[in-house]
Chains A and B, each alone.
Chain A
Amino acid sequence: MSTVTADPAPGRVGLPTKLRQSWDKNWSAWAMVMPVVLVLAILIFYPLINGFWISFTNQTEANQLAEICTKSITGGEVCKENPNAWSFVGLDNYLNVLTGKVGEFWMWTANTLVWTVVGVAFHYGLGLGLAVMINRQMRFRGLYRVLLVLPWAVPAFVSAFAWKFLFNERFGVINSMLGWIGVDPVAWFDSRWTSMFTAVVTNIWLGVPFMMVALLGGMQSISDELYEAAEIDGATPWQRFRNITLPGLRPVSMTVILLGTIWTFNMFPIIFLVTEGQPAGQTEILVTGAFRAAFEGLRNYSLASTYGVLILSILLVFSVFYRRVLRKQGEVW
Chain B
Amino acid sequence: MAQMTTTPPIADAPASPSGPARVNKPRRGRRSIAASIGLHTTMIVASLIAIGPIAWVLLSSFKPGYAVQSSELTLVKDPTLANYEYVLFDTNFPIWFLNSVLVAALTMLFGIFFSATTGYALSRFNFPGRRSLMMVFLVTQMFPVAILIVPIYTIMANLGLINTLPSLVIAYLTIAVPFCAWMLKGYFDSIPNSLDEAASLDGCGPFRTFWTVILPLARPAIAVTGFYTFLTAWGEVAYASAFIQDDKKFTLAYGMRQFVPQFNPQWEYLTAAAILVTIPAGIVFLFAQKHLVSGLTAGGTKG
Binding site for B on A (CB under 8 A): 1-4, 7, 22, 25-26, 28-30, 32-33, 35-37, 39-40, 42-44, 46-48, 50-51, 130, 133-134, 136-159, 161-163, 165-166, 170-171, 173, 175-177, 185, 205, 209, 213-218, 220-221, 223-225, 227-228, 231, 251-252, 254-256, 258-259, 262-263, 266, 268-269, 286-288, 290-291, 294-295, 299, 301, 304-305, 307-308, 311-312, 315-316, 319, 333
Contact = CB atoms under 8 A, between A and B. Distances in A.
Given A26-B125, A138-B40, A252-B301, 9 more contacts: A141-B9, A143-B5, A165-B270, A173-B73, A176-B71, A220-B293, A225-B21, A256-B300, A262-B142
A134 B39 CA distance: 9
Contacts of A148: 43, 46-47, 50
Contacts of A225: 21
Contact of A46 (B7, B11, B149, B155): B155
A263 B141 contact: yes
Contact of B42 (A133, A145, A154): A133
A214 B29 CA distance: 22
B60 interface: yes
B69 A150 contact: no
Given A3-B193, A213-B293, A221-B297, A308 B147 contact: yes
Given A150-B285, A157-B237, A312-B142, A136 B43 contact: no
B39 A28 contact: no
B281 A154 contact: yes
A287 B10 contact: no
Contacts of A177: 73
Contacts of A1: 189, 302
A153 B281 contact: yes
21 contacts: A2-B126, A4-B125, A36-B114, A36-B177, A40-B140, A40-B174, A47-B152, A144-B46, A145-B4, A146-B289, A153-B281, A158-B274, A165-B57, A165-B267, A171-B69, A217-B298, A221-B15, A290-B146, A291-B146, A312-B143, A333-B302
Interface in B15-51: 15-18, 21-22, 25, 27-29, 36, 39-40, 42-43, 46-47, 49-51
A232 B106 CA distance: 53
A-B pairs, 7 with minimum CB distance: A217-B297, A155-B235, A47-B151, A308-B147, A29-B125, A153-B285, A32-B121
A254 B144 CA distance: 22
Given A142-B4, A173-B56, A221-B16, A43 B146 contact: no
Contacts of B256: 157
B292 A213 contact: yes
Contact of B303 (A255, A263, A311): A255
Interface residues on B, range: 35 or more
Interface of B: 1, 4-5, 7, 9-11, 13, 15-18, 21-22, 25, 27-29, 36, 39-40, 42-43, 46-47, 49-51, 53-54, 56-57, 60, 68-73, 114, 117-118, 120-130, 133, 136, 138-152, 155, 170-171, 173-174, 177-179, 181, 188-189, 193, 205-207, 210, 231, 234-235, 237-238, 253, 256, 260, 267, 270-271, 274, 277-278, 281-282, 284-285, 289, 292-294, 296-298, 300-303
Nearest to A253: B300
Contacts of B297: 214, 217-218, 220-221
A26 B128 contact: yes
A288 B146 contact: yes
Contacts of A166: 53, 56
Contacts of B57: 162, 165
Contacts of A149: 285, 289, 292
Given A39-B170, A148-B47, A220-B293, A153 B284 contact: yes
Contacts of B179: 259
A159 B53 contact: yes
A294 B149 CA distance: 12
Contacts of B274: 158, 161-162
Contact of A142 (B7, B151, B270): B7
B121 A33 contact: yes
Contact of B281 (A37, A155, A165, A216): A155
B5 A142 contact: yes
